């Protein structure tokens, strides 16, 4: 072996050793700060939450928070403080909702919540648009990364978290302790809707064309068979492993204009059939029930309660939580026909153009 070769081998060994030391230091630093709280609460004791990174932060909240009641699903149930849920349900709570969550993402979050030792109750929204990404895809139009590795329990899956430069920057930011725009240190209400999201009738119908309500949103039509398959492949394996936990799937109260959109697109029979199929599954999976707020005429016809045609105000979130925790608004085989027919009559006896004009004050 020549001297040049020996020096080259020595240099490679030194480079490898220094690289390993650097990686180890990076991992130790990330682990010790743990900005997303995957292993333990953040070292500063004052987490900074970024609404743009819910999918990252929620994985840590599910793993290391102290809670009995977990809220999860979409933005339809994220605008409520944990303290309010605690008062309503009588147990420590955590909000694990994700804006624009798909059923696949919701199932991954549900699995984490069920693995948490203290979980007694899960309240999870069911939104039809969450099915638009298929079995494993994200909701159509959502571009946020879903970090599957933070939801997995495999030993080596956390490498991207422990060794990522993005995580290192987030850890440094957490140590600095100063939240930026769209960030908060409010651990009680981390996913509070921004002030710009105003709840009033005029704002709710902004941009709505009553003759083509979906034009503003571009949601796709869904088939019953696809809804059933997507739900079954994602949720049933998780629910089937639940033991000692009560799960409430909640259909949130979209405004009456959403149901006029469904009527325009021929989706009402599909969604009613899916609900009927879902409540039939509770015989096979008694761990869950179905809470339905979509026929609440006092809510869905009052456009002043909405920021858009989908999102209702915080008091309505509290009503949904209260109903789930106290066995109200349960949709079952005994009341399915009367409740769905009542909702259908609301659609048939209201005029979307008139609703929009009234909301605008025309």
pLDDT on residue 73: 96
* Cα 356-274-335 angle, rounded to 5 deg: 85
Q: How far from each other are the two terminal CA atoms of the chain, in whole angstroms?
A: 91
Model confidence at 146, pLDDT cuts 50, 70, 90, reads: very high
Domains recognised in the chain with CATH numbers:
66-160+181-360 (3.40.50)
pLDDT on residue 156: 81
When pLDDT is averaged across residues 100-112 and rounded to a whole number, the result is 97
pLDDT above 70 covers a percentage of the chain that reads 99
Tens of pLDDT, residues 298-338: 999 999 999 999 999 999 999 999 999 999 999 999 999 99
Cβ–Cβ contacts within 10 Å for residue 89, how many?
20
Distances (CA, A) of 140 to 82, 160, 161, 322, 326: 29, 26, 26, 31, 34
Tens of pLDDT, residues 15-71: 787 777 787 888 888 999 999 999 999 999 899 999 999 999 999 999 999 999 999
Q: Is the pLDDT of residue 6 over 80?
A: no
Residue 183 parent element (H or E):
strand 183-184
Cβ contact 75:89 at 8 Å: no
pLDDT on residue 47: 94
Tens of pLDDT, residues 219-266: 999 999 999 999 999 999 999 888 889 999 999 999 999 999 999 999
Cβ contact 308:204 at 8 Å: yes
When pLDDT is averaged across residues 114-133 and rounded to a whole number, the result is 95
Cβ contact 73:124 at 8 Å: yes
- Of the candidates 14, 211, 251, 240, the one whose C-alpha atom is nearest the C-alpha of residue 123 is 251
DSSP secondary structure string for all residues of 198-262: --SHHHHTTT--TTSGGGGT-PPP--HHHHHHHHHHHHHHHHTT--S-EEEEEE----HHHHHHH
């Amino acid at each position: 072996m020549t001297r040049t070769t020996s020096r080259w081998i020595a240099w490679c060994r030194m480079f490898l050793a220094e690289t390993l030391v650097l990686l180890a230091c990076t991992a130790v630093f990330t682990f010790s700060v743990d900005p997303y709280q995957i292993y333990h609460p953040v070292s500063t004791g004052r987490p900074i939450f970024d609404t743009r990174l819910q999918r990252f932060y929620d994985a840590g909240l599910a793993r290391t928070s102290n809670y009995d009641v977990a809220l999860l699903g979409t933005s339809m149930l994220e605008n409520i403080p944990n303290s309010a849920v605690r008062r309503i349900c009588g147990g420590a709570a955590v909000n694990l909702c994700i804006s624009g969550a798909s059923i696949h993402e919701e199932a991954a979050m549900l699995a984490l919540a069920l693995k948490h030792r203290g979980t007694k109750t899960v309240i999870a929204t069911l939104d039809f648009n969450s099915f638009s990404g298929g079995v494993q895809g994200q909701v159509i139009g959502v571009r946020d990364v879903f970090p599957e590795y933070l939801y997995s329990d495999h030993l080596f899956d956390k490498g991207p978290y422990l060794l990522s430069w993005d995580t290192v920057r987030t850890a440094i930011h957490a140590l600095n302790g100063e939240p930026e725009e769209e960030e908060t240190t409010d651990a009680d209400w981390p996913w509070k809707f921004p002030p710009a999201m105003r709840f009033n009738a005029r704002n709710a119908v902004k941009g709505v064309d009553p003759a083509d309500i979906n034009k503003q949103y571009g949601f796709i039509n869904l088939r019953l068979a696809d809804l059933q398959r997507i739900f079954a492949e994602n949720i049933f394996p998780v629910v089937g492993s639940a033991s000692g936990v009560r799960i409430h799937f909640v259909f949130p109260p979209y405004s009456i204009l959403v149901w006029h959109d469904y009527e325009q697109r021929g989706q009402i029979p599909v969604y009613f059939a899916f609900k009927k199929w879902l409540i039939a599954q509770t015989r096979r999976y008694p761990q869950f029930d179905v809470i339905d707020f979509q026929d609440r005429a006092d809510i869905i016809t009052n456009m002043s309660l909405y920021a858009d045609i989908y999102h209702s105000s915080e008091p309505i979130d509290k009503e949904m939580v209260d109903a789930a925790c106290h066995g109200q608004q349960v949709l079952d085989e005994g009341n399915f026909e009367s409740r769905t027919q009542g909702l259908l009559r609301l659609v048939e006896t209201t005029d979307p153009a008139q609703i929009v004009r009234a909301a605008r004050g025309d």
